[in-house]
Chain A
């Protein structure tokens, strides 16, 4: 059987997945998930837990704390293979202490914001204190971003809003998730703002999306993530495998950029993993 490209090219391994979630069903699937990840060469993964069952757009403080505890448990059970984000709903009064607690945990290497980024009046002000702390501590912030047909969710940021926040906090490292949804527009919105990175995860594997991101942002600002559990690891890696860019750029996307941004490692040889 002639099936060469169902096999991953050798250059792909190792892979750093900087955007993943444990199953919201909480049925002990983490082992299976890590095994599936390893089949495609993912040896490092940063997880955020956004809740149990259906994810709430504006989770309570208690729900956020419990979600984070689950991530800290995973990270402590699988050190070196898994890392964590501390997740917050920035509208909570206790956000700073949740962040402080989280960032003190071994293996927590970033902050995650999802779709609770605005207050009741639709202002992004609650995010300011998160970015101030992130800027002070030099901790990257992964922010979900979309540009939905018919309008975003109440607390969901658009790529343009992320660009504006990044201009306000120029020393903060912000990762715009999902290339901003509509990748052509999302990438353009952040292109001039150099402290914004973009991850390619979660959407379908749109032909040309990675090439476009590399062309507009440079490979150094493009990060690999999967959005698993909700996506197949392999289908997300195919975005990079199929992209018509240099192999050196693919390695930056698949590994180097995340090791540098989240772990502070300048260059890591594949033999070390």
Chain B
């Protein structure tokens, strides 16, 4: 069973994504035999009100929540964030939250972010952290956003060791950096969608740090979902390790395997 841990739905402000609705995502998922996807609202980080974003996410995915797991938007700097999170879980059935710290202009060390992570751990929900959505060199001049600092993430993981973290968009070199710095990575997984640097970067990474922390993520519909699949499939890794990335590793996380039963 392949689960895609990095998927968006809806409109993006700078160009028309080729597929923007649930039918489109399901088409892409079927094309790649992806069974389930953890989906956030593409422009969610631009909404003033997270509840508005999360309701929109629910509307877009309506009727397809058997395959689309809804990952909400939250901005922990907004005073109502606790209510937003509670409302999302209890009323909208959100399976977790994805934060975009640099789009909202905060550091992970901010007390509300730590509180958010602990709150989610308490209700067995994962916290997704997106390093970036689009490449800095091609961003719209009015929406220039840097990537989340890897050192910040390494520190964060050690401060919230009980929270299941899904890190989206790490490049190969950044994974090396995280593994060298990070101490509490037991509940951390990283999706492979941006690990296509170097002709054998993924293999080098796995040979050095093991395969256990890696999961499949495509960042569709921004990217072709085939890309991350093939980067894994043709990495030169043994079949068992490829299978672990694409469909095995998430099962060993109690919180992520719980997504299947929601």
Which A residues form the contact surface with B (CB < 8 A)? 1-8, 32-33, 36-37, 39-40, 146-150, 181-182, 184, 203-208, 211, 226, 228-239, 241-243
The reply to whether the CB of B90 lies closer than 8 angstroms to some CB of chain A is no
User: When chains A and B are docked, how far (Å) is the Cα of A235 from the Cα of B193?
Assistant: 10
Q: Can you spell out 22 A-B residue pairs with CB atoms less than 8 angstroms apart?
A: A1-B247, A5-B32, A6-B246, A33-B199, A40-B234, A146-B137, A184-B15, A203-B135, A204-B194, A205-B227, A206-B223, A206-B224, A207-B28, A226-B199, A230-B198, A232-B231, A233-B234, A234-B231, A235-B227, A238-B224, A238-B227, A242-B224
Interface residues in B16-30 by Cβ distance below 8 A to A read 17-19, 28
CB-nearest residue of chain B relative to A209? B224
Decide yes or no: A229 and B226 within 8 Å by CB, A1-B247, A6-B233, A6-B242 being known contacts: no
Residue numbers in B under 8 Å from A231 (CB-CB): 196-199
The reply to whether the CB of B232 lies closer than 8 angstroms to some CB of chain A is yes
Interface size on B, residues (CB 8 A): 46
Which B residues form the contact surface with A (CB < 8 A)? 2, 15, 17-19, 28, 31-33, 135-141, 144, 194, 196-202, 220-236, 242-243, 246-247
Our pick among B19, B226, B246 for the contact of A238 (Cβ within 8 Å) is: B226
Our pick among B141, B224, B236 for the contact of A207 (Cβ within 8 Å) is: B224
Our pick among A1, A36, A204, A226 for the contact of B223 (Cβ within 8 Å) is: A204
User: When chains A and B are docked, how far (Å) is the Cα of A211 from the Cα of B19?
Assistant: 13
Across the A-B interface, give the 5 residue pairs with the lowest CB-CB distance, nearest first. A6-B233, A242-B224, A235-B196, A205-B227, A234-B234
A234 touches B230 (CB 8 A): yes
A204 touches B2 (CB 8 A): no
In the complex, besides A233-B199, A234-B196, A238-B230, 11 extra interface pairs with C-beta distance below 8 angstroms are: A3-B243, A6-B229, A6-B234, A205-B224, A207-B19, A207-B221, A207-B223, A232-B198, A235-B196, A235-B227, A243-B224
B230 touches A241 (CB 8 A): yes
Minimum CB–CB distance from B113 to chain A (whole Å) comes to 27
B135 touches A204 (CB 8 A): yes
A149 touches B138 (CB 8 A): yes
Decide yes or no: A149 and B196 within 8 Å by CB, A204-B223, A232-B201, A242-B227 being known contacts: no
